[in-house]
Structure 1
């Protein structure tokens, strides 16, 4: 598969990946709407779509590396083992250094766009743009509660277009939708039950017929800041036309439920408070979150909207926006959602994210020369170290933990032979200083959030890394067996556990 020829807009120094007909045309042409929603990007710009996991040269390189590794292990296992471990240790050091640099840049502050309540409310209604709010839902019986939370958004109703995106065969959510009090600014959109059965396909289907100037996404469990839409409008006008999107922060309303939700809170706190602002400061691509990202609709159309075949469509879209010549900002507004309180459900969710990160990396390195010219050296470093490194190094953690355990229990000289002095000392840097640095970032984040109750969770983060390893291992396996399979996260578990606890107390 070759690299697609995209159409540059020389007047704006931007790149357009997909030419989308007007929303009014698609509203009348259902077949074309379905085709664009499912296959638009894959057809018009296949080099930017995850419909194929590997292109030919990537498959050849992977086969050659695999054959070389097997041959090395057969002919000279010690030498091959030393080389592989040395390369992986260097990758760990690079990833750790990059993360520390991002964390430090983000912790300095000044990279988040802050809009006060007064400034947000001061914009007259006639100067506000029309706003589409996409809400993809699947098997969500509590849809009515979601709509009531969205009703708290402070935005003129005649400019608001809330679209509840339901799958055609989801009778459970359809029944819940019928119980909602009708509102002119809220409409139910039935998404055809066609492959791929993913959230980004539903978002495409709902967005492409919208005629609004701004667009955002909220998930089923979200509780956004009531002024978030107004803040996003002010922020986008302040940042100017070079910015295509602002990403609001995500937090949790059940962060103190158990140890897993506390770890999740620290994870998100570090990500949205430090890592994303660090990427903005560095001028690197910003992998978006799956919710509360606020787009200029015209730009979203030009870059092909969401890739329905990528299970981390948000991160992929952030990279595609950067490659098209746009930037992403971080908005000082918070959307609360449910932190995953169940370990199995958490692994399912995180494995999908990791799988999508690997998909995104493979898509964006299909033309190394082109992506380097579009992202620059810093952007490519982030793509390799951050996007690919996060899941792949997490998957390798278990191997090194096993080696460490085997050495301390057996002192096998075969294991020692894999770590000549240089590799050994670099590995010790990772083991001691690396782990301490990551623990420090957790403690620092707890202090930033003004949550002293999170300090024990920060000190117990190594247990959380074990869950990350399981999720990464599952992601690698599933990338081969079911690359576009969307493993849905179950919502409302905090409510179920609370109800069960109350019932137990009552009995």
Structure 2
């Protein structure tokens, strides 16, 4: 599986070349330019042939073994999430910087901060973006804000030029070239960056006005071993509809329980797509982001861990727009799932080296969390269908497929596992102080069904189009944006 190319000839712009090929040249074994190496393809072919032969010769026994393995791994993934939540609850594992401490640092002592804002076909949110960036409490002479816009996106470029507030915000036009991804645009902007610290905001983001100051103070407190701080992400349109409420609970669990739990257990942190703050020097030494990976953030978190760098969770919130449209939500979630699978494949290319660099803790995270998240979403529908079939028709074949010990493991996954995940959502309701979201938490199985659809789509795209960045439409919370979207789905 190699990334498709639409280039007529290699790009000639030096910055563009570096933004596309920088990681491949520096760390070729960690680039997603080729998703499966020759060894991985060979292993996959051998396993597929062996499994097909076993199915032909010992059909029931082979299916029993496959289901037993899947059941054990599924149980492991659920148990792992419960362990992360427990670890996060033991004590505070987020880095806190008070408003007073954040404002106490004199302006001249603050580092220059680069803020990368990639946007594509989003003229409707550019005006609001400028308002939110203007609210950042950081001296403008220490700000290097780049709007990373595709050179052929004339509408967004025109909208940005009309509202630029000053020289600290500049438009950087990224020449069109494959892959057309957010990490490639960020890599391009990085070539021109002047900051000691760098972060990414999406065009619709509403960051905590003190977030840059908090991060700068936190880096100074924590010392050089900490090279990245991930801020919490939340949603400003949580109450728009049921999908946005589910999404809000999902993020609350992720950023308030799971990521702090990973910190508590000393495991790698799959970063979020925005509001991760990094030391510029380290980021450049790592080769920056992988332009061929559609979850470049999660991949970067694993690469940081492999080289021994530490990542913390910053107690500061950036509000984003929750997807309110089902089709748009599936596009976004399937991209995330696909990227997680690509990240797992990349970092399992050299299992011994990964084990040595990540230790057993990191390998658990890589397999049960990074790979486990999309795979459990994909497998949910399969197991639910088999369970429903058993209760409706009780076919003997289904009973044969579950050997007795693994039948009980599967039963525990079905009853206890699903209850645990619902409990995590109820816990998020409590942590957020939002009792009105309790019904949404109890209706979580419907949300999981949506995630299964996204998981199936991710698996297909992984095979046929691994580096394709499926664009998420933003601004759907705006009344003027909802009507065209509804008309498009109706047609």
- Which residue in the other structure is 1:34 paired with? 16
Q: Deviations over 1:436-493 (max 9, x none)?
A: 1111111011001101011001101000000110001000100011000000110011
Q: 1:498: how far off? A: 8.6
Matches within 5 A, 1:309-388: 309-388=292-371
* Aligned counterpart in structure 1 of residue 82 of structure 2, from 100, 109, 113: 100
The yes-or-no answer on 1:121 pairing with 2:103 is yes
For residues 131 and 241 of structure 1, do their structure 2 counterparts lie closer, same or farther at Cα, with a shift above 3 Å needed? same
Find the partner of 2:31 among 21, 46, 49.
Answer: 49
Q: Does 1:402 align with 2:385?
A: yes
Distance in 1, matches of 2:55 and 2:480, equals 49
Instruction: Give the distance between the partners of 1:420 and 1:378, measured in 2 at CA.
Output: 30
- Give the match for residue 223 of structure 2: 240
Instruction: Show the counterpart of 2:7.
Output: none
Deviates more, 1:101-110 or 1:165-174: 101-110
Paired residue secondary structure (2:148): strand
Whether 1:467 aligns to 2:450 is yes
Query: Is contact 2:379–2:452 with CA below 8 Å preserved after alignment?
Result: yes
- Judged with a 3 Å threshold, the aligned counterparts in structure 2 of structure 1 residues 406 and 41 are, in CA distance, closer, same or farther, namely same
Deviation at 1:39, TM superposition (A): 0.9
Cα distance, 1:143 vs structure 2: 1.0
Taking only aligned residues, the RMSD between alpha carbons, in angstroms, comes to 1.4
Question: Following the alignment from structure 1 to structure 2, what is the Cα–Cα distance between the partners of residues 30 and 186?
Answer: 26
2:70 aligned residue (82, 88, 92): 88
**Runs of 5+ consecutive residues of structure 1 not aligned to the other structure:** 1-28, 502-507
Secondary structure in structure 2 of the residue aligned to 1:493? coil
Please give the residue correspondences for 1:171-210 in structure 2 after superposition, counting only pairs within 5 Å: 171-210=154-193
Deviations 1:264-304 (A, max 9, x none): 01100000001111001111100000100111100110011
**Following TM superposition, by how much is the alpha carbon of 1:392 offset from its aligned partner in structure 2, in angstroms?**
1.5
Structure 1 match to 2:117: 135
Measured at CA, do residues 259 and 157 of structure 1 come closer, stay the same or move farther in structure 2, by a change above 3 Å? Answer: same
- Match in the other structure for 1:17: none
Number of aligned residue pairs: give it.
473
Match of 1:148 in 2: 131
C-alpha displacement of 1:424? 1.0
Is the 8 Å Cα contact of residues 107 and 273 (structure 1) preserved in structure 2? no
* Range moving further from structure 2, 170-179 or 120-129: 170-179
- SS for the counterpart of 1:417 is helix
Equivalents in 2 of 1:473, 1:353: separation in Å? 12
Normalising by structure 1, report the TM-score: 0.91
Q: Kindly indicate whether the alpha-carbon contact (under 8 Å) linking 1:137 and 1:165 is maintained by their aligned counterparts in 2.
A: yes
Counterparts of 1:178 and 1:224, CA distance in 2: 22
Q: Does 1:418 align with 2:401?
A: yes
**In 1, distance between residues paired with 2:434 and 2:285?**
42
Pairing partner for 1:62 from 38, 44, 55? 44
Residue pair 1:136, 1:166 contacting (<8 A) in 2 also = yes
User: In the TM superposition, what is the alpha-carbon distance from 1:185 to its structure 2 partner?
Assistant: 0.3
- Superposition map of 1:241-280 within 5 A: 241-280=224-263
Counterpart in 2 of 1:288? 271
Q: TM-score, normalised by structure 2?
A: 0.94
- Deviation at 1:420? 2.1
Deviation at 1:30, TM superposition (A): 7.5
Shift in alpha-carbon separation, 1:50–1:499, aligned structure 2, 3 A: closer
Range 259-268 or range 490-499, more displaced: 490-499
One of 475, 486, 494 as aligned partner of 2:469: 486
> What secondary structure, in the 3-state scheme, does the structure 2 residue paired with 1:134 have?
strand
Please give the alpha-carbon distance, in whole angstroms, between the structure 1 residues aligned to 2:426 and 2:92.
21
Tell me, yes or no, if the aligned pair for 2:235 and 2:321 is still in contact at 8 Å. Answer: yes
Q: Provide the C-alpha distance between the structure 2 equivalents of 1:470 and 1:327, rounded to a whole number of angstroms.
A: 35
